[in-house]
Chains A and B, each alone.
Chain A
Amino acid sequence: MERIGRRRFLRSTAVATGLAVSGVRPSRPLAQAGKPHAGTRLKVAQVSHAYAEALLARLPAFEQQTGIKVEIDQMSFPVLNQRADLELASGSGAYDVMQMIFIRSGRWIAAGWAEPLNPFIDDAKLTDKGALDVADFVAGAMAPFKRGDTLYALPWLSDSTVVGFRADIFEKAGYAKFPETFEALQEAAAKIHTRQTAGFVTEDNLHWIFPNWLLSYGGGFFANPPSDLTPTFDTPEALRAAELFTTMLSKYSPPGGIKLDPSVAQAIMQQGKAACYLDGMGNTQHIIDTKKTTLADRMAFTHTPRGPKGHFPQLAVHGYFINKASKNKQAAWEFIKWATGKDQMLWSALNKGHLACTRTSVLAHADVRQKFTWHGSDLAALHLAVMKRAGEGYMAYRTVPQFPPVGDRVIIAMTSIASGQASVADGMKSLQKDAEGILEKAGVKINRRS
């Protein structure tokens, strides 16, 4: 064995000390050529979803290719909301990649908790722009995560409101096609509604459902979001929308129709207890699950109705972002690129039924179109059309930082009106007053109307 001399020992010690002081670390033992992040352990937080299952199914290939170990924590949506807020606010850095919930994006981005993605995208060493193909993401799905030219997340889920309906019931009531306006839908519901079969059903997340009516009748949450956040729940347009919407809930919904979680609303459709179901695409498409219903061949899908001011289907978007406090940002970017890639999204649509995806190429893919065309209803085209429509910008109200508490208050107002505890005028007046209070308490300058 070669002897180490005194001088060599001292020189080596000096070099090692210098490197340690300067912060330079030897490469990870597992790092290999072409796998710069080998040995990195990533933690991902997201909602329990078929898309996560699709990621898990293909994760071994990603791990083998990059040497990165990934742990995906799937949790229910309420748990995710709570946990994400806490982890981000405390700067724990426990999760490297997190789900960007679009109604919280305003707060999270404003607080500086999300890492801008532009530097990663623009660095040729980190990103093959052709393979990533950012332009392939539908504009409406990207909008919530952009502030100016800065991008903070890449979307993997975009839920668009559509209607699933029993074609046979509507035909029997004299409707060759689904009513195109909300007022026509109400007339149809009045004809169809019986104790056995409700005219209409929806889920209990009413701040997600009500805006379909609200915006179509010319109303809105705020005067001109994001610049003017003065609440506008006391306008004649908002009152009319609330009146029509709560009438659908109180008169033409199944018993307990004010408070039905999505799976119950789906079950009601699956058992033939309602004529139509308005909700996000991800939820609505479950009504044709042939393991749960024998009525699937009587179902069809279409756009949500319109109002006098036009058609305003809602779009909920969720993406992946890099936690600012993460210590593995480049590895996290590798994961996001892979998780939102064309190949992954297409595989997920074809194998896990994830239609509520965000890439144009996937929604236009022949196999996807074929898989999701049901008795003449082209679900992929419906979804794409809503994303493009939302891309015009009317969903901006939903990504302002103050939306979540105002949205919660809207649910209370709609519930109290639909249950008869408050008149439309009183319920909306009270909502307006409370929303003004929430905004002012948050330090937002508004033009008080009440």
Chain B
Amino acid sequence: MNSRAWTASGTVLLMLVVLGPVLFIVQMSVRSGLEAFRMPPTLVFSPTLQNYIDLLEGKFVRSLMNSTVTATSTTVLALLLGVPAAYAFSRARVRAQGLVSLWTLTTRMAPPIAFGIPFFLLYKDLGLIDTRIGLVVIYLTFNLSLVIWMMRAFFDGVPRSLEEAAYIDGAGISAAFLRIVLPLSAPGLATTAIFTFLFAWNDFFYSLLLTRSEAVTAPVAIVNFMNYESWEWGKVAAAATMIMLPVVALSVVVRKYLVRGLTAGAVKG
């Protein structure tokens, strides 16, 4: 086998490994209850959209909406708060700067359970349990540090001379940041946004802990298809597929920036 054949085989194998679980879930989502566990599994079957219809007619839509609102709000707020902070960490020279920037990481150092229970008790008194606002606040705690550290690295890569040139032309700090630095960091911004969105979108733990019924997000709602006496695998698969779709769509839309963002700095000296 020549090298091209090896490469092709490797690519197919890799795609199977990566796409295998996704394809498995998607095909299960369009099988009836009887078909879902047919042994041995059949490749040819009559697909049905019943699982999706059941989901769209049930409470899952609300959970999906909760996920959308909380993940989007978290992303927007984390960028609004984190990007200026990252710029400050990149450009300003203040005492104990290293320590302060390290301090922002502390929320990611401990396991979520260490924060979950205190937050539950705090939220109980504040009336924030089972609210979207409560979820956004806790998602911000661990996503802000991600935004700050990722964006700081991107800002570090933007030559200061460009801002200095802008200052000479009469721009202030804000104008230089908004008109020069931020556009040049667009790939990083896209990468950071998508990672922030993903972390909030996929959260299971905090939603499990801090919601009851009104603000339950989609990952927790999926688990509730596991009834006491039988599990509704078709609905679980359909719900999993629906959860994947927005992330896939978002990744496709920003893929150009995503690749540039992830590889930024890779060939710099």
A→B interface (CB under 8 Å): 43, 47-50, 71, 73-79, 82-83, 86, 90, 92, 94, 157, 261-264, 266-268, 270-271, 273, 282-283, 286, 291-293
- For A266, what are the chain B residues with a Cβ–Cβ distance below 8 Å? 230
- For A79, what are the chain B residues with a Cβ–Cβ distance below 8 Å? 208, 220, 223-224
Q: Is B209's CB under 8 angstroms from A282's CB?
A: no
Question: Which of B6-14, B30-38, B139-147 faces chain A?
Answer: B30-38
The one of B120, B220, B228, B229 that contacts A86, using a Cβ cutoff of 8 Å: B120
- For B212, what are the chain A residues with a Cβ–Cβ distance below 8 Å? 43, 73, 83, 94
- For A263, what are the chain B residues with a Cβ–Cβ distance below 8 Å? 37, 230-231, 233
B→A interface (CB under 8 Å): 33-34, 36-39, 117, 120-121, 124, 129-130, 208-209, 212-213, 220, 223-231, 233
Q: Is A76's CB under 8 angstroms from B227's CB?
A: yes
CA distance A3 to B244 in the complex (A): 68
- For B231, what are the chain A residues with a Cβ–Cβ distance below 8 Å? 261-263
- For B39, what are the chain A residues with a Cβ–Cβ distance below 8 Å? 267-268, 271, 273
- For B33, what are the chain A residues with a Cβ–Cβ distance below 8 Å? 291-292
A41 to chain B, nearest CB (A): 13
A80 to chain B, nearest CB (A): 9
Q: Is A71's CB under 8 angstroms from B220's CB?
A: no
* CB within 8 Å for A291 and B34 given contacts A90-B121, A94-B212, A263-B233: yes
Which A residue's beta carbon lies closest to that of B130?
A94
B25 to chain A, nearest CB (A): 16
**7 more CB-based (< 8 A) A-B contacts, given A82-B209, A90-B124, A268-B37:** A43-B212, A75-B223, A79-B208, A262-B231, A271-B37, A282-B229, A286-B230
A54 to chain B, nearest CB (A): 13
CA distance A50 to B227 in the complex (A): 9
A317 to chain B, nearest CB (A): 13
Q: Is B34's CB under 8 angstroms from A292's CB?
A: yes
A77 to chain B, nearest CB (A): 6
CA distance A90 to B117 in the complex (A): 10
Q: Is B229's CB under 8 angstroms from A286's CB?
A: yes
Which B residue's beta carbon lies closest to that of A87?
B212
Q: Is B220's CB under 8 angstroms from A48's CB?
A: no
Q: Which of the listed residues A48, A74, A271, A273 has the most CB atoms from chain B within 10 Å of its own CB?
A: A48
- For A43, what are the chain B residues with a Cβ–Cβ distance below 8 Å? 212
B111 to chain A, nearest CB (A): 16
Q: Is B226's CB under 8 angstroms from A77's CB?
A: yes
Q: Is B213's CB under 8 angstroms from A50's CB?
A: no
Q: Is A47's CB under 8 angstroms from B228's CB?
A: yes
CA distance A310 to B33 in the complex (A): 39
- For B223, what are the chain A residues with a Cβ–Cβ distance below 8 Å? 75-76, 78-79
CA distance A268 to B40 in the complex (A): 11
Between-chain CB contacts (< 8 Å), 14 pairs: A47-B228, A48-B224, A74-B224, A75-B224, A76-B226, A79-B223, A83-B212, A86-B117, A90-B121, A157-B228, A262-B229, A263-B230, A271-B37, A273-B39
CA distance A293 to B35 in the complex (A): 10
CA distance A92 to B231 in the complex (A): 30
The one of B38, B121, B226, B229 that contacts A50, using a Cβ cutoff of 8 Å: B229
- For A94, what are the chain B residues with a Cβ–Cβ distance below 8 Å? 129-130, 212
* CB within 8 Å for A282 and B228 given contacts A73-B212, A86-B209, A271-B37: yes
Q: Is B208's CB under 8 angstroms from A82's CB?
A: yes
- For B209, what are the chain A residues with a Cβ–Cβ distance below 8 Å? 82, 86
- For A293, what are the chain B residues with a Cβ–Cβ distance below 8 Å? 34
A151 to chain B, nearest CB (A): 23
Q: Is B38's CB under 8 angstroms from A271's CB?
A: yes
CA distance A48 to B213 in the complex (A): 13
Q: Is A92's CB under 8 angstroms from B208's CB?
A: no
- For B230, what are the chain A residues with a Cβ–Cβ distance below 8 Å? 262-263, 266, 283, 286
Q: Which 6 A-B pairs have the closest CB atoms?
A: A267-B37, A263-B231, A76-B226, A48-B227, A282-B229, A47-B228
CA distance A368 to B233 in the complex (A): 30
Q: Is B228's CB under 8 angstroms from A49's CB?
A: yes
The one of A48, A83, A264, A268 that contacts B228, using a Cβ cutoff of 8 Å: A48
- For B38, what are the chain A residues with a Cβ–Cβ distance below 8 Å? 271
Q: Is B124's CB under 8 angstroms from A92's CB?
A: yes
Q: Is A283's CB under 8 angstroms from B225's CB?
A: no
Q: Is B229's CB under 8 angstroms from A76's CB?
A: no
CA distance A286 to B121 in the complex (A): 41
CA distance A286 to B117 in the complex (A): 38
Which A residue's beta carbon lies closest to that of B230?
A263
- For B129, what are the chain A residues with a Cβ–Cβ distance below 8 Å? 92, 94
- For B225, what are the chain A residues with a Cβ–Cβ distance below 8 Å? 48, 76
Q: Is A49's CB under 8 angstroms from B227's CB?
A: yes
CA distance A125 to B120 in the complex (A): 38
* CB within 8 Å for A77 and B228 given contacts A86-B120, A268-B39, A273-B39: yes
Q: Is A71's CB under 8 angstroms from B213's CB?
A: yes
Which A residue's beta carbon lies closest to that of B220?
A79
B216 to chain A, nearest CB (A): 9
- For A49, what are the chain B residues with a Cβ–Cβ distance below 8 Å? 227-229
A46 to chain B, nearest CB (A): 9
Which B residue's beta carbon lies closest to that of A272?
B39
Q: Which of the listed residues A83, A267, A282, A283 has the most CB atoms from chain B within 10 Å of its own CB?
A: A267
B145 to chain A, nearest CB (A): 26
- For A73, what are the chain B residues with a Cβ–Cβ distance below 8 Å? 212-213
CA distance A291 to B220 in the complex (A): 28
Q: Is A48's CB under 8 angstroms from B226's CB?
A: yes
Which A residue's beta carbon lies closest to that of B116?
A86
A82 to chain B, nearest CB (A): 6
A218 to chain B, nearest CB (A): 31
Which B residue's beta carbon lies closest to that of A285?
B229
Q: Which of the listed residues B124, B130, B212 has the most CB atoms from chain A within 10 Å of its own CB?
A: B212
CA distance A268 to B38 in the complex (A): 9
* CB within 8 Å for A90 and B120 given contacts A73-B213, A82-B208: yes
- For B220, what are the chain A residues with a Cβ–Cβ distance below 8 Å? 79
